[in-house]
A and B are shown apart, each in its own frame.
Chain A
């Protein structure tokens, strides 16, 4: 029998893995007793719950209750948008908003299947400057436009 990657199965695996990880990692925190709970008591309750829910989903997926197969993933959009936001986070303290913002917008536009180079460049500059005007000068948020 071929294993079908249904959303139930994948969600179940995800929940169970998270619950399992949290209960193992969380075992370093003292449990205490019900009357004097340690730091580990509540997390253990929650992560065991997650393990159970994950198991239920996995079992249910084999019973074929919900057979939604996972759709194809748009890797281009996913990777480029995330890369853009990540780059923003890595650059904002080193280079400032101008560089980080332009890079984010360009990455976001390239993530789309169709984009015009000139339009993208103008949009990146325009949006970043507008955002700077709004957030830095308008709202006074502590973000630097340029950091050299």
Chain B
């Protein structure tokens, strides 16, 4: 069986001591940073990126994936213990998880989150192993026009599922795409928007933007609000669930797993959408929906399984199509590009050890997460009492050194300062910065494919509707736009996000 040989190859890579070690470090560091209130996976990955610069590409990717899972789980821990979800995907976990903690069942809530995540992680890893090769096979047939339409579809989907104003999200994507044009144009060798600065010829490094916006900009914002954030942390005990609790939690975890793994594949989907949908599903299926919001174990198991399943399966479009489904995947693609790798169907064919090594380490990462978190959860809880005044200078310092070390360039630090300001400004203007990152990553790819498609068609735009794959994506995009325009559905979407905000 092909899958088994491939997974065998994967595990031989992932179990190499160096990769295993960095996977472990990734999970550990990701959890440590992710536990801190206000730091979600995007910020955590941005801050920790510099740790991966010196590594081999495959080790770096494995470590990044570890960081991602760690950050995801760390966010849930914070949500449960102090009702401060560090990221939007653990917002729903906070609803019932924190109620459980208040009833003295913090340990049970944390164990539920860990076990549900592990179940989902295992399942989603299998989905990737089974689905990715055939999807990549299909993707190899894609021409430039198909890629163009796929990416437009991805961006539109991301806009629809973004928080807040849709118009602003579109604007942010365009700003990101405009930033992506900086540098020497590959087709004509004309330096664009470099303002005569030779270092800008290679374009701006995405890590500089990410660390500027998410590391520096967010820190300034948190600092303005600091002092307000002081919470009460429970002691954590009674980790292991009793049999009747297991019975209550397992079906919910399974439903969350299936739902999350499916939703994660969609462009613009990912953990946030998955956890919200899973919570809604559990509430609807429950015989006693009134228990939700008062510490229902299903309300933790379902969304936690869903967000982890989605976190994993959103690697599928990234690895098979080169399409980042959300901001975290945009960071991953950026990190890969820094190592000279271009994700897409060719990656699996040309570098199977990298692809399958990553898949295997996803599962190992989840295993490490459970093994690490159940015994260490007391330490994470302690970490939450660490004063922010020691923390943010460290974050700024790591960002500054990290930015400098990408190209050994002091100019990059100055550019990051500018993006720190931009990031702060955007937060204050209620503009979600994640779409900017997506636009920045996808912009150059869209331009390249648009150019190639139109060269082939001698400038005729009908090529986008004549090719069936491209046409299908454009129809899907149009459907999404119609949904977006329908006011009823839109207000429904706002309601979902508003409910979560409280």
Contacts and interface: CB of A to CB of B under 8 A. Distances in A.
B396 A143 contact: no
B171 A11 contact: yes
A82 B220 contact: yes
A70 to B, nearest CB: 6
B424 A85 contact: no
A14 B167 CA distance: 13
Q: Is the interface of B mostly helix, strand, loop or mixed?
A: helix
Interface in A1-37: 7-8, 10-11, 14-15, 18-19, 22, 25-26, 29-30, 33-37
Nearest to B412: A89
B450 interface: yes
A133 B311 CA distance: 33
B223 A141 contact: no
A81 B421 CA distance: 10
A46 interface: yes
B400 A104 contact: yes
B284 interface: no
Given A39-B190, A82-B421, A112-B389, A143 B404 contact: yes
Contact of B414 (A18, A19, A71, A89): A89
Contact of B193 (A26, A70, A82): A26
A18 B178 contact: yes
Given A11-B429, A104-B393, A139-B54, A57 B168 contact: yes
Interface in B354-413: 389-390, 392-394, 396-401, 404-405, 408, 410-413
B438 interface: no
Interface string B445-462: 001001100110111110
Contact of B175 (A15, A108, A141): A15
Nearest to B170: A53
B174 A77 contact: no
Nearest to B455: A35
A117 interface: no
A73 B428 contact: yes
Given A46-B174, A109-B389, A123-B393, A78 B51 contact: no
Contact of B413 (A40, A85, A128): A85
Nearest to A97: B401
Given A25-B193, A46-B178, A85-B413, A139 B397 contact: no
Contacts of B185: 29, 39
Contacts of A74: 220, 223-224
B455 to A, nearest CB: 6
Interface string B417-447: 1001100110011110000000000010001
A111 interface: yes
Contact of B181 (A42, A109, A127): A42
B500 interface: no
A122 B430 CA distance: 37
B50 interface: yes
Nearest to B451: A37
**Chain A contact residues: over half helix, strand or loop, or mixed?**
helix
B177 interface: yes
A88 B400 CA distance: 7
Nearest to B54: A139
B187 interface: yes
B188 interface: yes
Given A89-B410, A140-B54, A42 B417 contact: no
Contacts of A73: 428
B188 A30 contact: yes
A137 interface: no
A115 interface: yes
A30 B188 CA distance: 10
B167 A109 contact: no
A10 B447 CA distance: 29
A29 to B, nearest CB: 6
From A73, A124, A131, A141, residue with most partner B Cβ within 10 Å: A141
Nearest to A42: B447
Given A7-B430, A42-B447, A141-B54, A34 B171 contact: no
Contact of A131 (B398, B428, B457): B398
**B53, B171, B414: most-surrounded residue (chain A CB, <10 A):** B171
Contact of A93 (B175, B410, B417): B410
User: Which of B50, B187, B396, B414: most chain A Cβ within 10 A?
Assistant: B396
B204 interface: no
Contacts of A53: 167, 170-171, 174
The 9 closest A-B pairs by CB, nearest first: A89-B413, A35-B459, A39-B190, A34-B459, A74-B224, A53-B171, A141-B405, A39-B185, A105-B393
27 contacts: A8-B165, A10-B429, A11-B168, A15-B171, A22-B178, A26-B192, A29-B192, A35-B454, A37-B451, A40-B192, A42-B447, A47-B178, A49-B170, A56-B167, A68-B430, A71-B428, A78-B424, A81-B223, A82-B420, A85-B396, A85-B399, A85-B400, A101-B400, A131-B401, A135-B50, A139-B54, A141-B54
Given A81-B220, A139-B54, 15 more contacts: A11-B429, A34-B460, A37-B450, A39-B192, A42-B451, A46-B443, A53-B170, A70-B428, A82-B417, A82-B421, A86-B413, A109-B393, A127-B394, A139-B51, A143-B404
